[in-house]
Amino acid sequence: MSTIAAVATGPAPGGVGIIRLSGPEAVRAARQVAPGLPAQLRPRFAHLARFVDRSGALLDEGLILHFPAPASYTGEDVVELHAHGSPRLLSLLLGELLATGHARLAGPGEFTRRAWLNGRVALQAAEGVADLVAADSEAAVRAAAAQVAGALSAQLGPVVDGLRALHADVEAVLSFPDESEGAEEGLCRRLAQVHGGVAQLCERARQGRVVRRGARVVLVGPPNAGKSTLFNRMLGEERALVDEAPGTTRDALEARLELGGLSVTLVDTAGLREAPGRVEALGVQRARAEVAAADLVLLVLPPGEDAGGWRGELGAAAPVVEVRSKRDLAAAGPGSGGAAWVSGLSGEGVAGLLEQVRVRLTGYGTAGAVSITGERHAECLFRAAQALDRAREAHVVSTLEVVAGELGLALAALLDITGEDASEALLDEVFRRFCIGK
């Protein structure tokens, strides 16, 4: 194994900047840029060090820490150089380390890849590290942290065990039909059980997707329904123009807000109608495109407007929440079929609506409780669920061979999450997402 080196801290100036080395030559390389270190480095101890270039000129003073193998992040000999957080200084220092000939520049995610190779982290936990580094909302941070801590492994374990046992039993029935009489009966129930477990994980994966990417919540409805007024009220600032003339909003307008730790992009759109003008017609087109791309649609209707027709007319793939606007003008109170009643003008009902949006997006928990945020994990789970769907169908209409085949596919999909039997290509794909130095 070669020794790798990289700047581990971000590319902006900061109080401290860290260069990390991992591999058998890590200490030797570090000694060359930090002469005067004691002959024996104390494990995990902060040694004061002078960092110099190859001519011996001083670059900075800082700390050197040695984490001897195997008790380190990568499982190899790791050395960290803590200098001042100047990107220019750090690249000079890294250049000096590489010039020693004892280390080469690390590739993206190579430290974590080595950690995985040496059994220091599970694959899904390693991916959690990448998610944590990239997290841009509180919910994403909490979800990634849960993943690093093994939340996904804990949920996945029993499902994988159940599926593995089921697969083995079905194969046994096929191989030794005489000795396995009656095993068929339990099969249906066990299939349903495993299927249920995977379906539950898929549901969490869908919520996780929203946590990771953030959610697009789109306000639509007829002109003058009060969409822009509500948009401003939900954001807590006057972003969109409001006017009593219908057709005020032309372009789609978006703004970000954080909802219970979840990153939400709220989109205001042009009122839907057979548009009179050309520009407004373009706006209506854009509104329809927004509906198609939404994670959640808020159908804003003034009191008295019929909802059924509008729902059909929207044809949204995402869930639609009906919102009754201008509550202050309505004679009758709430009660009409689960709609949220709000007044963008007075603010009445808006807090409740925001809470309803949060719950619809993350399920009845906090966003932080979502534990499956990796797109790759989600994709593996969906693939397993499909194979199990086919297995259940095959159990009714086809042969046990087909059931066994589908169970095998489902199991392979789940094992792709943990990286058991992982191919090089899969590993490359996983670690490509990392930044250099991680």
Q: How many residues bind ligand GTP (CB under 6 A)?
A: 23
Q: Taking Cα atoms as reference points, which of 425, 421, 414 lies closest to residue 153?
A: 414
Containing 258, the helix (H) or strand (E) segment is strand 253-259
- Judged by CB under 5 A, the residue of 72, 137, 147, 228 near Mg ion is 228
Task: Return d(Cα 375, Cα 433) in angstroms, integer.
Answer: 12
Segment interacting with ligand GTP, rule: CB under 6 A, options 126-134, 136-144, 201-209, 246-254: 246-254
- Residue 259 Cβ vs ligand GTP, minimum distance, rounded to whole Å: 21
Query: To which H or E segment does residue 116 belong?
Result: helix 110-117
**Per-residue b/e over 98-131, b at no fewer than 16 CB within 10 Å?**
eebebbbebebbbbbbbbbebebbbbbbbbbbbb
Minimum CB separation of residue 230 from ligand GTP in Å reads 7
Q: Taking a C-beta distance cutoff of 8 angstroms, is the pair 250, 270 a contact? A: yes
Q: Is 251 in the site for ligand GTP (CB under 6 A)?
A: no
Indicate whether 371 belongs to the interface with ligand GTP (CB under 6 A): no
In whole angstroms, the minimum distance from the beta carbon of 302 to ligand GTP comes to: 8
Of 249, 263, 325, 373, the one binding Mg ion by CB under 5 A: 249
Strand pairing partners for 259? 262
Least distance in angstroms from the C-beta of 370 to ligand GTP: 32
Other beta carbons within 10 Å of 183: 15
Cis before residue 158, ω within 30 degrees of 0? no
How far is Cα 326 from Cα 128, in angstroms, rounded to an integer? Answer: 44
User: Which part of the chain contacts ligand GTP (CB under 6 A), choosing from 116-124, 224-232, 365-373, 423-431?
Assistant: 224-232
**Does 83 help bind ligand GTP (rule: CB under 6 A)?**
no
Which x/- pattern over 307-346 shows residues binding ligand GTP (rule: CB under 6 A)? ------------------xx-xx-------------xxx-
Residue whose CB is less far from Mg ion, 344 or 368: 344
Q: Are residues 24 and 1 in contact, defined by beta-carbon separation less than 8 angstroms?
A: yes
Which pairs from 125-130 meet CB under 8 Å and 24+ separation? 125/149, 125/150, 125/153, 126/430, 126/431, 127/374, 127/376, 127/377, 127/430, 127/433, 128/152, 128/374, 129/434, 129/438, 130/433, 130/434, 130/438
Residues 6+ apart with CB under 8 A from 387: 406, 407, 409, 410, 413
Does 22 engage in binding with ligand GTP (CB under 6 A)?
no
State the nearest-atom distance from the C-beta of 348 to ligand GTP, in Å: 8
Nearer CB in complex with ligand GTP: 120/326: 326
Is 224 a residue that touches Mg ion (CB under 5 A)? no
Does residue 271 touch ligand GTP according to CB under 6 A? yes
**Structural contact between residues 109 and 438, judged by C-beta atoms closer than 8 angstroms:** yes
Token pair, residue 339, equals 């709609």
- Nearest approach in angstroms of CB 270 to ligand GTP is 6
Per-residue binder mask for Mg ion (CB under 5 A), 185-204, x = binder? --------------------
User: Per CB under 6 A, which region of 236-244, 290-298, 311-319, 368-376 contacts ligand GTP?
Assistant: 236-244
Instruction: Indicate the length of the chain as a whole number.
Output: 438
Q: Tell whether residue 269 is a contact of Mg ion (CB under 5 A).
A: no
Residue 247, interface with ligand GTP (CB under 6 A)?
A: yes
- E strand or H helix that includes residue 15: strand 14-22
Cα 216 off chain centre by: 15
Question: Sheet of 4-7: strands edge to edge?
Answer: 47-52, 58-67, 78-85, 14-22, 4-7, 104-105
Pick the piece of the chain touching Mg ion (CB under 5 A) from 168-176, 221-229, 363-371, 424-432. Answer: 221-229
Q: Residue 225's binding partner, choosing from ligand GTP, Mg ion, none, with beta-carbon cut-off 5 to 8 A by kind?
A: ligand GTP
| Among 244, 274, 421, 424, contact with ligand GTP (rule: CB under 6 A) | 244
How many residues belong to the site for Mg ion (CB under 5 A)? 4
Contacting positions for Mg ion (CB under 5 A): 227-228, 248-249
Contacting positions for ligand GTP (CB under 6 A): 223-229, 242-244, 246-249, 270-271, 325-326, 328-329, 343-345
